[in-house]
Amino acid sequence: DVKVTQSSRYLVKRTGEKVFLECVQDMDHENMFWYRQDPGLGLRLIYFSYDVKMKEKGDIPEGYSVSREKKERFSLILESASTNQTSMYLCASRDLTGSNSPLHFGNGTRLTVT
Partner 1 sequence: KNQVEQSPQSLIILEGKNCTLQCNYTVSPFSNLRWYKQDTGRGPVSLTIMTFSENTKSNGRYTATLDADTKQSSLHITASQLSDSASYICVVPQFGNEKLTFGTGTRLTIIP
Task: Give the residues lining the site for partner 1 (CB under 8 A).
Answer: 4, 31, 33, 40-45, 48, 50, 56, 58-59, 90, 92, 99-100, 102-103, 105-108
CB of 114 to partner 1, least distance (A): 21
Q: Which is nearer to partner 1, 15 or 96 (CB)?
A: 96
CB of 25 to partner 1, least distance (A): 12
Q: Which is nearer to partner 1, 83 or 107 (CB)?
A: 107
Distance, in Å, from the CA atom of 19 to the CA atom of 80, rounded to the nearest integer, reads 7
Q: Which is nearer to partner 1, 18 or 54 (CB)?
A: 54
Q: Write phi, then psi, for 98 (nearest 5 degrees).
A: 85, -170
Distance, in Å, from the CA atom of 53 to the CA atom of 84, rounded to the nearest integer, reads 28
Distance, in Å, from the CA atom of 56 to the CA atom of 65, rounded to the nearest integer, reads 10
Q: Which is nearer to partner 1, 32 or 81 (CB)?
A: 32
CB of 89 to partner 1, least distance (A): 11
CA-based radius of gyration for the chain: 13
CA nearest neighbour of 11 among 107, 75, 87, 80? 87
CB of 16 to partner 1, least distance (A): 28
Pairing outcome for strands 10-13 and 109-113:
parallel
